[in-house]
Amino acid sequence: MQSVYFNRSPRFIRWIVLLAIALLPQVASAQWHATVGAQSANMGRQALAFLPNEIWIHEGDTITWKFSAGEIHTVSFLAASPTTQLRPAFSDGCPGFSSDPAWFDGSACVSTPPLVKGSTFTVRFPAAGNFKLVCLVHPDMTGVVHVLELSKPLPHTQYFYDEEAEAQTRALLSDMDREENEDRHSAERHSDEGQVIVGGGEISTNPGGASTLSIMRFVGHTPVIHAGQTVEWGSDDPEDPHTITFGTEPAGDPFPPSGNVTMGADGARHAIINSTSDSVHSGFIFAAPQDRTGLAQSPLSVTRFRVTFTHPGTYPYICALHDTLGMKGKVVVLP
């Protein structure tokens, strides 16, 4: 009996090994990778996007998102049951923010706080489903994760997603129309009333969701005027708010304007600067959100800011939200 046992032992072991190999693809979880945001070399162009913004994985798999831009973003999955959760403010989170790694099956919200380049966040998906991915900072920055049952084949590999992310990044950051427009307006200009374009960008969509190119620059950033004249800043950015800030940055919340800013009859804000030592802050200047069916009409946003300069000098200014990305300018006032 002993010899029979040992004769069959290798065959038995081989059977166990083959069984384990057959079952391994169905029980092992995979680790996937994606990117949050992208930027040009000078940080002036920001891709507000999940790259790629559509991924198919198996239940039990994880995805790690790497943040690759200086603009803040979140990775957020809102609760989908019993009813879809309304999108909260990025400062509030779910409320609160999730630990890393997090688990998401659609029943409870998962969100990072606003993060920038160098951060990572991992989410495991234990249950099958189709889950919308959003950035709480940027409304038109969305994606989707398709979580399939283990028995279903996956359509793509990590290599495909890496290539897709690179292609989407190039498409967003290499907008030639915008580049030509920036070059045409970037030089110093002398005019009776200076005009500066605040930011800029374009929203694009694909089957996975929406992405945005955002220009973090003042286009025509150095108007040259005479004392007593006015410069107007107008927002061209469809997604991000910006500020026009002279002197000391506001402490705390940068949303409201400084106390020396008034509202004009046409809804534009206005200030008077008498000295290069004056501080003036526009508050948020941004485009109005689009109206949605079944919701109240969106209020008119403040899209223009005007400053009258009474004395000669050079007046530097910044966007208090994006100056670290290089969003700065100056006004030259001649006698």
Containing H/E element for 183? helix 176-185
Q: Of 124, 150, 173, which residue sits at a domain end? A: 173
Q: Which amino acid is at 114?
A: P
Say if residue 41 is in the same domain as residue 129.
yes
CA distance 156 to 158: 7
CA distance 15 to 21: 10
CA distance 38 to 116: 10
Say if residue 242 is in the same domain as residue 320.
yes
CA distance 84 to 101: 23
CA distance 260 to 132: 43
Say if residue 140 is in the same domain as residue 188.
no
In a domain, 158, yes or no: yes
SS3 97: coil
Say if residue 155 is in the same domain as residue 217.
no
Structural domain tally of the chain? 2
- Give the HSE-up count for residue 168: Cα atoms under 13 Å, Cβ half-sphere: 30
Say if residue 139 is in the same domain as residue 273.
no
CATH number reported for the structural domain that contains residue 245 in this entry: 2.60.40.420
pLDDT tens, the chain, 335 aa long: 444 333 444 444 444 433 443 344 444 689 999 999 999 999 999 999 999 999 999 999 999 999 999 999 999 999 987 677 888 999 999 999 999 999 999 999 999 999 999 999 999 999 999 999 999 999 999 999 999 999 999 999 999 999 999 999 999 998 644 544 544 444 444 444 589 999 999 999 999 999 999 999 999 888 999 999 999 999 999 999 999 999 999 988 899 999 999 999 999 999 999 999 999 999 999 887 666 655 556 666 899 999 999 999 999 999 999 999 999 999 999 99
Q: In the numeric block, which tokens belong to residue 35?
A: 């990117």
Domain that holds residue 151: 28-173
Q: Which amino acid is at 216?
A: M
Please name the residues in contact with 139: beta carbons below 8 A apart, sequence gap of 6 or more.
87, 239, 289
In a domain, 3, yes or no: no
Output the pTM of the full model.
0.84
